[in-house]
């Protein structure tokens, strides 16, 4: 059986229409880039097609909470490396850490934590993860030592990334 990666990675170019007059990625667009990157990474690395799951299982994951720290500016047309990893999970939620790096991965631009809950569309309510997802989460979870977003942000700020 193939070993699944715990840290997923992809790259994207920051587009002009997503930036502010200062040539920086607009704060509101960070979430879009993070979510889109994670979606692509799940498909590429775990063969998880979120839209297929919605159609076949009537379940999708919705963001219940997110926190974003802006460490360094992200500029128009800059190539950004996105990393994501599952840092914790329960029967009713998952916590994912995502990071934006410059193309050489020498400068950390942003860090974010997203909490997702499984939502059953036909029942119109938050549901529990199925056994197959719990088994996947167990294989790929990679916890971090900091137990709050604020401590995690401080860890990265102190590391001068």
Q: Over its length of 161 residues, how does the chain's per-residue pLDDT go in tens digits?
A: 579 999 999 999 999 999 999 999 999 999 999 999 999 999 999 999 999 999 999 999 999 999 999 999 999 999 999 999 999 999 999 999 999 999 999 999 999 999 999 999 999 999 999 999 999 999 999 999 999 999 999 999 998 64
Helix, strand, coil % (nearest 5) of the chain?
Answer: 30, 35, 35
Domain boundaries, the chain: 8-158
Residue 45, judged by CB atoms within 10 A of its CB (0-12, 13-18, 19+), counts as middle
Fold of the CATH domain 8-158: Thiol Ester Dehydrase; Chain A (3.10.129)
- In Å, what is the CA distance from 82 to each residue of 37, 44, 131? 7, 14, 28
Q: Model-level pTM?
A: 0.95
Distance of CA 148 to the CA centre of its chain: 16
């Amino acid at each position: 059986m193939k070993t699944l990666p715990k840290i997923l990675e992809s790259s994207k170019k920051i587009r002009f229409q997503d930036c502010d007059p200062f040539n920086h990625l607009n704060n509101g667009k960070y979430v879009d880039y993070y979510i889109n990157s994670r979606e692509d990474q799940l498909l590429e690395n775990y063969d998880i097609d979120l839209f297929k799951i919605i159609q076949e299982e009537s379940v999708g994951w919705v963001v219940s909470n997110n926190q974003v720290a802006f460490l360094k500016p992200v500029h128009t047309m800059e190539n950004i490396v996105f990393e994501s990893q599952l840092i914790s999970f329960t029967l009713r939620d998952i916590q994912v850490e995502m990071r934006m790096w410059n193309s050489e991965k020498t400068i950390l631009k942003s860090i974010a934590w997203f909490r997702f809950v499984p939502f059953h569309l036909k029942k119109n309510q938050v549901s529990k993860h199925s056994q197959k997802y719990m088994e996947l989460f167990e294989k790929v979870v990679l916890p971090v030592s900091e137990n709050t977003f604020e401590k995690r942000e401080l860890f990265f700020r102190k590391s001068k990334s």
